[in-house]
Amino acid sequence: MKKMHIAAALTASAALVLTGCSAGGTDAGSAGGDKIVVDMWAGSQDDTAALEAQVAIAQKANPDLKIELRTAPWGDFFTKLTTNMASGNMACVTGMNSGMLSSYTAGFAQLTDEDLATAGIVTDEFADGALEILSNKGDVYGVPFDMATMLTYYNADMLAETGAPVPADGWTFDDFEATAKAATTDQHAGFGIGMGGFQWQALPIAKAGVQPVKQDGTLDLTNPAFVDAATWYGELVTEQKVALPVSSASDTGWGENQYSSGMAAMAVDGTWNAVGYLDNDPGFTAGMAPLPAGANGSLGLVLGSGFGIAQDCDNKEAALKVLGSLLSVESQDYIASSGRSYPARVSSQPLYFESLPAEFRDQVEAAFESAFSNVQGQYVTDNWSKIDTFVQPQLVSVYNGQESMENVLKTAQSQFGK
């Protein structure tokens, strides 16, 4: 999940910020003194402006500090972060995404209750589960500025055309199968099967009521409940024939693209794409619903991005104050009002819905309220990114009936669960 993809293109006056150096050439990593560097990934020029606006809020709240922004594109950001972590040159306030955290915990300070108090963070002011987003094995490494979870998106026109039942709050996996089967025709599939880690795992986790990793970071891919649910997921293609097989491992957005192009009636994707799907280019009437419920309810993951403090930051107290200002009511209200992402601070969340087009507002709010009602932070192993990289291409063989989901999970467990 790539939230707040901040752009690499900045004005010439901001070029020194990007290089991480002040006008005098001083290193801008974890240097002490009154300068605090904020490091975050980049994506678009509009996103850069939004991030700069949040830094300006933090600067206003901390006039005695000089706050500088350092950015890089998503992939480059984490490559550079690896280098900076090894050399002890991480920015004092560094951005982090929940799906990437396990690979970088060594570079971040564990945040105590005292640290959060110094930052002015009152945990009760953040949504339930928010502090789990940037936690690992029970330790808090950061505080999120936004939060997300997975939803079921559907093509209402396609469902009406086929007479398929419409997904709704409280629906079950039996209901899901009924809708997928009814919506499957020679012209389109009932469901777009997922390839991305969040996309393909969401329904198995919801159905099984367990994650493929335990809270202590132990790999649990062969948990019988998860294996059964994941097998069911693969059989949506091979047995139930409600989804098309994936052509290539490079089709990482297969299910979402099938849905957005009008080739599938349903798909699972994150809340971060809600408005984009509702205002889609083909012009079909889109809808959304929480994930269906299994025997133990409907378990979802709470995901997101935020900021942490570098382990080797020389001015931790000042960095904590900057972190708190970046997550203040004013900053969170700014994020929410812009409609850029769903804020982690509860009081700011209504502003996000108010920012949406009136015709989408009620539907998005209802879906979000239901989807976030039963979520937990994602549990991952220290080598989770390697596991994800291993499993994803194997899914092509599973969906084409050349390999079983159980064998793929067993192989991954044996290779990475040591």
The per-residue pLDDT for 45 is 87
Q: Tell me how far the alpha carbon of residue 173 is from its chain's centroid.
A: 24
- Runs of H (alpha helix) within 253-348: 254-260, 274-278, 316-326, 329-338
Produce one character per residue of 293-305: b if its CB has 16 or more CB atoms within 10 Å, e if not.
bbeeebbbbbbbb
* Whether pLDDT at 297 is above 70: yes
Question: Domain 150-301+383-416 is in which class?
Answer: alpha beta
Q: What is the DSSP string of 24-61?
A: T--B-SS--TTEEEEEEEEBBHHHHHHHHHHHHHHHHH
| pLDDT confidence band for 328 (50 / 70 / 90) | very high
How many H helices and E strands in the chain?
16, 12
What average pLDDT does the segment 234-240 reach? Answer: 98
The per-residue pLDDT for 2 is 39
* Whether pLDDT at 31 is above 80: no
Question: Domain 35-148+303-359 is in which class?
Answer: alpha beta
| pLDDT confidence band for 33 (50 / 70 / 90) | low
| Span 143-175, pLDDT tens digits | 999 999 999 999 999 999 999 999 999 999 999
What average pLDDT does the segment 284-297 reach? Answer: 94
Q: Is residue 234 a contact partner of residue 149, using CB atoms and an 8 Å limit?
A: no
* Whether pLDDT at 20 is above 50: no
Tokens representing residue 44 in the block: 């678009």
Q: What angle do CA 6, 133, 318 make, to 5 degrees?
A: 65
* Whether pLDDT at 27 is above 60: no
User: How is the chain split into domains, by residue range?
Assistant: 35-148+303-359, 150-301+383-416
Q: Over pLDDT 90: what percentage of the chain?
A: 86
Region of poorest pLDDT, from 4-18, 108-122, 214-228 = 4-18
What average pLDDT does the segment 53-80 reach? Answer: 96
pLDDT greater at residue 118 or residue 30? 118
Q: Give the span between the Cα atoms of 94 and 75, in whole angstroms.
A: 15
What average pLDDT does the segment 15-40 reach? Answer: 53
What average pLDDT does the segment 174-190 reach? Answer: 98
CA atoms within 13 A on the CB side of 177: 14
Q: What is the DSSP string of 341-359?
A: S-BSBGGGHHHHHHTS-HH
| pLDDT confidence band for 37 (50 / 70 / 90) | very high
| pLDDT confidence band for 42 (50 / 70 / 90) | confident
Domain 35-148+303-359 and domain 150-301+383-416, same fold? Reply is: yes
| Span 337-382, pLDDT tens digits | 998 899 999 999 999 999 999 999 999 999 999 999 999 999 999 9
- Measured CA distances, 226 to 82, 206, 211, 294 (Å): 32, 10, 7, 12
Produce one character per residue of 83-101: b if its CB has 16 or more CB atoms within 10 Å, e if not.
ebbeeebbbbbbbbbbbbb
- Measured CA distances, 269 to 254, 334, 349 (Å): 11, 25, 20
